[in-house]
Structure 1
Amino acid sequence: MSHDATGNRAVKIASLIQVLASLLWLPQAALLAAGVGDIAAGRGLANIHWLVAGVVAVGIFRAALDAVGNRLAFRTARRVLSEKRTAAAAALAARSPLDIDRPASGLAASVLAEQAEAIVPYLSRFRPARLKATIVPIAIFLCVLPLSWVAAMVLLVSAPLIPLFMALIGWRAKAASEKQLVEMGGMNAFLLDRLRGLATIRSLDAVDLTAKRLRANAESLRDRTMAVLRIAFLSSAVLELFAALGVAMVAVYIGFHLLGQLNFGAWGGRLSLNEGLFILLLAPAFFEPLRELSSVWHDRASGEAAMAALDRLSQDGVTMLGAKQSDQQHGSRSNTGIPEVCIDGLSFRHAGSGLLTFENFDLCISPGERVAVLGPSGSGKSTLLALIAGLAPYENGRIAIDGVTLIPATAAELRAQIAWVGQKPHIFAGSVFDNIALGRPEIGRESVDAALAIAGLQGVANARGQMQIGEGGTGLSGGEVLRLALARAAADPEKRLILADEPTAHLDTTTANEITASLLALSAGKTLIVATHDPVLASRMDRVIALEPEASLEAA
């Protein structure tokens, strides 16, 4: 059984428990009406002890049942939210970096962290309230009808007007909530993008322009949030109006009937005080589930919009090879040799593109060879490295690493041998040690010290000590950030194939030469493939592979 089906079943059970708790008001109201009737008839307080005990016992049981139902609904909602978040995070992690439809990180973070929380009140409050609004009024109507058809007709006529107007308002509320979520996600994505490019914004003297744009986005989000709240208050006002009118009409009829002014509506007889009081006690309870539904009606729009947003994040796009091979044993191969990389008849095109980036491309890199893939922007250098790393599926051909064909079943195992050094490595907030070890238990202090020596980062590590590095590498220069990425690769001895994507891009000549020297030191006893447009870096390699953009490619 799927997680969604299990969650829906648990929510239904919790909702039914709450419905049962609400229905216990029927016997409790009957006991109360009987007690008041006995007192009015002059039977005294001595004869109603069992009625009082019954009211108290039913009340305690009702409260306990309602608490159990609420707790179960909340726990189920949290579990469903966790499962959906996990599925969305797994789908995002499996998406290829070459997927042009991959959601923006700011939007994904907003959906996962903020918008997804709307699922909890939707499942724990709206769904039980909707079920109670479906069952409880019908049960009360069936109890009132045998006593007075007039009172039953008053309830029956006033009740449908409430869901009718709520449905009309609800359509508008859902549209407003969806627009609000889109606006929130867009603003978060905008803010994250500007924070990442803060240095560039300052250098271009665009701080004021960015602040005005952010202020305009915040005002737009405020307007949409207020629109959702206005609709929510409108739905509550509509409900309270018709509920008050319905209860008032029942009370007026019962009062005049008991006074003898209205002698109809009780199936040819007269209502007793017990029966009249019983109907009066049930009339507010008839509208109570509808009132509760109105108070959480806006949770429906927000919750459904949040679930749809999470489901969109969970959709499969262009995924990495082997990303869904959950039973794959990472790094299970015992081979410790230097890998060979062979590409035969490779064909690949980006999703949505009509042009082939590679067509019948062949390349063979010997074990321990250092190769530079040289070419201008758009020639497919980075794409080639991504395909070798199994970060995207290819159409035709064969990629083999150390004699093992790169397919979904072997991709995770082969990636365990690959170290990726990008031109923009992400640095986490933490110490130098934490950023190199990355939580890998097999990497200890000795491995990190050796990696620092290879990357030429010992001076920085000694100077900073246990000082924290800011998120994104705050406090480090561009060259030091790249050295940290090299140290990450050097710390793991299992990484025998190094893929470096534009490691010297945007660096000055001196820093680029230092990074090149560290990269060569890192590649000792390993196979190295570097994608670059830097001829100086390419000249330090054993061989150069020249790529031409938008053409049938051949190894030089």
Structure 2
Amino acid sequence: MTTLLPVADTTQVRRYAGGLFRRNPRALAVVIGLHALAAVAGLVGPRLLGELVESIQHGARAGTIDRLAAWIAGFVLLQAILTRFAFLASARLGERVLAELREEFVERVLALPLSTVERAGSGDLLTRTTRDVDALSRCVRLAVPETLIAVVLGTLVVAAMVAVSPVLALPLLVAVPILVAGTRWYLRRAPAAYLKQNATYSTVTDGLAETVEGARTVDALRRQRQRLARTDADLRRTFLAEKYTLFLRTVWFPIVEVGYVLPVVATMLVGGLLLLRGTVTLGQLTAAVVYAQMLIDPVDRLLSWLDELQVGAASLARLLGVAESEPERSTAKTPAGTGIEVRGVRFEYVPGREVLHGIDLTLTPGERLAVVGPSGAGKSTLGRLLAGVHPPTGGTITVGGVSLGDLPLDRLRTEVALVSQEHHVFIGSVRDNVAMVRPGAAEPQVHAALAAVHALDWALALPDGLATEVGVGGHPLSAAQAQQIALARLVLADPHTLVLDEATSLLDPRAARDLERSLAAVLHGRTVVAIAHRLFSAHDADRVAVVEDGRITELGSHDELVAANGPYAALWRSWHGERATEQIIQR
């Protein structure tokens, strides 16, 4: 069962969003200044229009009318020019802020412990890196600048209307109760609704990813109906979540539409009465009505983009929540050696169901330890704990006297590295795939790493040698070749302790044995923990640990354990019988 990654709270979102823009104070000031100037230029026109109406009313000369018309046209042109540059400045600021946010998000994702990613499942993280980033991109590029423009323009329009006539500005208050009540109703419900909606997208993505990755298993076990039912149920939850947010919008939007129209109508009615009484002039009434009409645009823009801001805030909360998944690690402690001590270690994936029970083990520097045992005994789990992938739920694991959980992830991987049965070839050249653990590695070092895992010959034989593009869309590699690339990375990374979890399982037994012997020579002097089902790894090891039912039941050299005639001896005899049968069949 997957557990979704955490979500940041409202305070964290506001603090982070404010911090992003505070990092660019000059650019923000330019954006606000340009939009303010554009708004002021736009506000001059209605005032001049009022004077033009009064001039015509009092029989002004054609020259005066032409002059006022020219001024109006000039300010309209000036507003257009300032608006263009204001939007360009907003776009630049938005792109800069979005770039910073994306870079920080990638850093957070790469800093996540592997155990956290596994618990959350690929669907949630994939949705956050795609849909949530896209939603936030739209918010930063469009919603934030548009909202900023609306606030500046709305404030200046109201100020201009008050300057024309404070009395004519009063009808604007008619819309306040309607807009405030409707918006408060919406905002009390929208944040949680959009978070839930985004979470349902994660569930859909997770289910689809499982179905695609396990397509062969689904087909072999004829589980198509069950997977379709799972997808339908996930889509149903997404539909209901989207239906609710749509309901919120269909209630809120009509309310604010009424709030737009009322101020214009009220200004015309009140202004008409005041004009009949001689309290205001026709020019003032004309300017006030135009300003009331102009106020519709910033208010509509503000409230329309408020919905997009809710989507963006929900996405930002999910992106920031990734950082909450990373446990705090001390950076002050430095291991005083390379020996690993395991004391009273217990572990459980699910509370109340222990997988490992009181493991005690000491790994001396340079030792090669083989971990063997029946399937499901806890071998791979022990290996992952030794590599710091999972923290123990009880007991301690230390390297050089420092707990693995106290080491920063980048430092941890220089101490202990894990290579499992899983492997990945990244998009790029063979050289890049190997040297990614040490980007500055020289060509001879890359060659030596490939040679150590018997991969140099076939790598040089590729169409472009080590420059051949591999990964998705590149030159195809076999599963065995991909595994050799992963092992070459490990050789180049050069940690003092390696945990090999069936790292040669995709090679045939003879090639795997030759490769492990070559690795042993290259990695001489380093601690190696080999988790294996092929017992020739145990035969070559300094010590063998037999794991049964989450406990180490035997520990000693190969010869000692065979002589003891215990569980290991039984495994050895059974494996030898299987090997003999395989050889007879092959003959």
> 2:283 matched to which residue of 1?
274
What residue ranges of structure 2 are gaps of 5+ in the alignment? 1-14, 557-587
The amino acid that maps onto 1:544 is: V
Secondary structure of residue in 2 paired with 1:114 = helix
Q: Deviations over 1:506-552 (max 9, x none)?
A: x6xx7244223312211212432112355443233221023344558
Matching of residue 135 in structure 1 with residue 155 in structure 2:
yes
> 1:7 matched to which residue of 2?
20
Q: Deviations over 1:306-345 (max 9, x none)?
A: 11111211214446x67xx5x999xxx9xxxxx9534264
Quote how far apart the aligned CAs of 1:82 are.
3.5
What residue ranges of structure 1 are gaps of 5+ in the alignment? 334-338
- Relative to structure 1, is the Cα distance of residues 511 and 126 closer, same or farther in structure 2, using a 3 angstrom cutoff? same
1:282-361 residue pairs with structure 2 within 5 A? 282-318=291-327, 341-343=339-341, 345=343, 347=345, 349=347, 353=351, 357=356, 359=358, 361=360
1:408-427 residue pairs with structure 2 within 5 A? 408=406, 412-413=410-411, 415-416=413-414, 418-427=416-425
Separation in structure 1 between the aligned mates of residue 469 and residue 436 of structure 2, nearest angstrom = 14
Q: Deviations over 1:438-462 (max 9, x none)?
A: 3744445544444444333456546
Matching of residue 244 in structure 1 with residue 261 in structure 2:
yes
**Equivalent of 2:454 in 456, 465, 488:** 456
> 2:531 matched to which residue of 1?
531
- Relative to structure 1, is the Cα distance of residues 392 and 472 closer, same or farther in structure 2, using a 3 angstrom cutoff? farther
Separation in structure 2 between the aligned mates of residue 356 and residue 210 of structure 1, nearest angstrom = 29
Q: In the alignment, is the contact (CA less than 8 A) between 1:29 and 1:278 conserved in 2?
A: yes
Quote how far apart the aligned CAs of 1:197 are.
2.4
Separation in structure 1 between the aligned mates of residue 412 and residue 251 of structure 2, nearest angstrom = 59
Please give the root-mean-square deviation of Cα atoms over the aligned residues, in Å.
Answer: 4.3
Separation in structure 2 between the aligned mates of residue 384 and residue 455 of structure 1, nearest angstrom = 25
> 1:487 matched to which residue of 2?
488
> 2:126 matched to which residue of 1?
109
Separation in structure 1 between the aligned mates of residue 517 and residue 125 of structure 2, nearest angstrom = 37
Give the % identical residues.
Answer: 24
> 1:188 matched to which residue of 2?
205
Q: In the alignment, is the contact (CA less than 8 A) between 2:420 and 2:503 conserved in 1?
A: yes
- Relative to structure 1, is the Cα distance of residues 200 and 429 closer, same or farther in structure 2, using a 3 angstrom cutoff? farther
Secondary structure of residue in 2 paired with 1:547 = strand
Separation in structure 2 between the aligned mates of residue 20 and residue 167 of structure 1, nearest angstrom = 31
The amino acid that maps onto 1:365 is: T
- Relative to structure 1, is the Cα distance of residues 230 and 45 closer, same or farther in structure 2, using a 3 angstrom cutoff? farther
Q: In the alignment, is the contact (CA less than 8 A) between 1:7 and 1:76 conserved in 2?
A: no
Secondary structure of residue in 2 paired with 1:465 = coil
Secondary structure of residue in 1 paired with 2:114 = coil
Matching of residue 516 in structure 1 with residue 513 in structure 2:
yes
- Relative to structure 1, is the Cα distance of residues 127 and 16 closer, same or farther in structure 2, using a 3 angstrom cutoff? farther
> 1:29 matched to which residue of 2?
46
Separation in structure 1 between the aligned mates of residue 154 and residue 553 of structure 2, nearest angstrom = 66
- Relative to structure 1, is the Cα distance of residues 188 and 390 closer, same or farther in structure 2, using a 3 angstrom cutoff? same
Quote how far apart the aligned CAs of 1:302 are.
0.4
Quote how far apart the aligned CAs of 1:115 are.
1.3
> Whose helix proportion is higher, 1 or 2?
2
Name whichever of 225-234 and 185-194 sits farther off. 225-234
Separation in structure 2 between the aligned mates of residue 381 and residue 226 of structure 1, nearest angstrom = 48
> 2:172 matched to which residue of 1?
155
- Relative to structure 1, is the Cα distance of residues 500 and 227 closer, same or farther in structure 2, using a 3 angstrom cutoff? same
- Relative to structure 1, is the Cα distance of residues 82 and 548 closer, same or farther in structure 2, using a 3 angstrom cutoff? farther
Q: In the alignment, is the contact (CA less than 8 A) between 2:197 and 2:241 conserved in 1?
A: yes
Quote how far apart the aligned CAs of 1:157 are.
1.3
Q: In the alignment, is the contact (CA less than 8 A) between 1:125 and 1:296 conserved in 2?
A: no
Separation in structure 2 between the aligned mates of residue 345 and residue 473 of structure 1, nearest angstrom = 46
> 2:106 matched to which residue of 1?
89
- Relative to structure 1, is the Cα distance of residues 59 and 305 closer, same or farther in structure 2, using a 3 angstrom cutoff? same
Using structure 1 for the length normalisation, give the TM-score. 0.78
> 1:363 matched to which residue of 2?
362
> 2:572 matched to which residue of 1?
none
- Relative to structure 1, is the Cα distance of residues 12 and 555 closer, same or farther in structure 2, using a 3 angstrom cutoff? farther
Separation in structure 1 between the aligned mates of residue 221 and residue 473 of structure 2, nearest angstrom = 20
The amino acid that maps onto 1:184 is: Y
Q: In the alignment, is the contact (CA less than 8 A) between 2:419 and 2:501 conserved in 1?
A: yes
The amino acid that maps onto 1:361 is: D
Name whichever of 408-417 and 297-306 sits farther off. 408-417
> 1:545 matched to which residue of 2?
545
- Relative to structure 1, is the Cα distance of residues 243 and 275 closer, same or farther in structure 2, using a 3 angstrom cutoff? same
Separation in structure 2 between the aligned mates of residue 274 and residue 8 of structure 1, nearest angstrom = 42
Secondary structure of residue in 2 paired with 1:416 = helix
Separation in structure 1 between the aligned mates of residue 545 and residue 119 of structure 2, nearest angstrom = 30
Separation in structure 1 between the aligned mates of residue 234 and residue 509 of structure 2, nearest angstrom = 40
Q: In the alignment, is the contact (CA less than 8 A) between 1:451 and 1:487 conserved in 2?
A: yes
- Relative to structure 1, is the Cα distance of residues 432 and 196 closer, same or farther in structure 2, using a 3 angstrom cutoff? farther
Separation in structure 1 between the aligned mates of residue 377 and residue 439 of structure 2, nearest angstrom = 39
The amino acid that maps onto 1:498 is: L
- Relative to structure 1, is the Cα distance of residues 430 and 48 closer, same or farther in structure 2, using a 3 angstrom cutoff? same
Quote how far apart the aligned CAs of 1:105 are.
2.6
Quote how far apart the aligned CAs of 1:78 are.
3.6
Separation in structure 2 between the aligned mates of residue 55 and residue 23 of structure 1, nearest angstrom = 13
Secondary structure of residue in 2 paired with 1:104 = helix
Q: In the alignment, is the contact (CA less than 8 A) between 2:28 and 2:93 conserved in 1?
A: no
> 1:372 matched to which residue of 2?
370
Q: Deviations over 1:147-195 (max 9, x none)?
A: xx3x444321134313322332444544443333122222222222333
> 2:434 matched to which residue of 1?
436
Quote how far apart the aligned CAs of 1:79 are.
3.7
Separation in structure 2 between the aligned mates of residue 209 and residue 64 of structure 1, nearest angstrom = 60
Separation in structure 1 between the aligned mates of residue 230 and residue 220 of structure 2, nearest angstrom = 18
Quote how far apart the aligned CAs of 1:68 are.
4.8
Separation in structure 2 between the aligned mates of residue 8 and residue 363 of structure 1, nearest angstrom = 52
Separation in structure 2 between the aligned mates of residue 405 and residue 470 of structure 1, nearest angstrom = 36
The amino acid that maps onto 1:18 is: H
Q: In the alignment, is the contact (CA less than 8 A) between 1:428 and 1:473 conserved in 2?
A: no
Separation in structure 2 between the aligned mates of residue 222 and residue 514 of structure 1, nearest angstrom = 53
Separation in structure 2 between the aligned mates of residue 201 and residue 121 of structure 1, nearest angstrom = 38
> 1:167 matched to which residue of 2?
184
Quote how far apart the aligned CAs of 1:283 are.
1.4
Separation in structure 1 between the aligned mates of residue 138 and residue 428 of structure 2, nearest angstrom = 36
- Relative to structure 1, is the Cα distance of residues 51 and 195 closer, same or farther in structure 2, using a 3 angstrom cutoff? same
Q: Deviations over 1:255-276 (max 9, x none)?
A: 5765xxxx34xxxx34222112
Name whichever of 187-196 and 125-134 sits farther off. 125-134
Using structure 2 for the length normalisation, give the TM-score. 0.74
Separation in structure 1 between the aligned mates of residue 316 and residue 181 of structure 2, nearest angstrom = 25
Q: In the alignment, is the contact (CA less than 8 A) between 2:171 and 2:270 conserved in 1?
A: no
